[in-house]
Amino acid sequence: MNNKVFVSGKITGDPSYPFKFEAACAAVAREQFFDRHGNPSLAERYGHFGFVPVNPCTLTISGKPLSAYPWWMCMVRTLWALLWCSYVYMLHDWKDSRGARWEHRAAKLLHKHIIYQ
């Protein structure tokens, strides 16, 4: 198990998505994860410290940003990145995104630790 956390949420149709993902990645880096009921932080629950966020907004294919490619190619790239993470952090709007729902399904199939915002 590694300390990588894939951040998943709505991108298409959300003009403020870069800021939302950057804030989520900052929270991951600060290890400030709490569930809805105020339970212990992610670090306390899983015994990991120094989490590394994986931001799908910054992923590339051959050095080009994902925005230069069709949606399906972006999904292949993000699912590949998710594969190498032990944790998936689902942002509050993940159910409004077809891609985030795919990432959630993949995370469940791969038995990743899923954390909900």
Residue 22 maps to which CATH number? 3.40.50
C-alpha to C-alpha distance for 35 and 37, rounded to whole angstroms: 5
Assess whether pLDDT exceeds 50 at residue 18. Answer: yes
pLDDT for res 27: 85
CB atoms within 10 A of CB 69: 16
Q: How many domains would you assign to the chain?
A: 1
Q: Is the pLDDT of residue 85 over 80?
A: yes
More confident residue, 93 or 44: 93
Q: 66: domain range?
A: 4-116
Mean pLDDT value across residues 88-114: 96
d(CA 30, CA 108): 25
Q: What is this structure's pTM?
A: 0.85
- Please give the share of the chain, as a percent, with pLDDT higher than 70: 84
> Over the chain, what is the mean pLDDT?
87
**What is the per-residue pLDDT for 86?**
92
The pLDDT of residue 35 is above 60: no
Whether the pLDDT of residue 75 is over 90: the answer is yes
- 37 pLDDT more than 60: no
Instruction: For Cα atoms 91, 95, 99, give the angle at the middle one, nearest 5 degrees.
Output: 85
Q: Give residue 67's identity as a one-letter amino acid code.
A: S
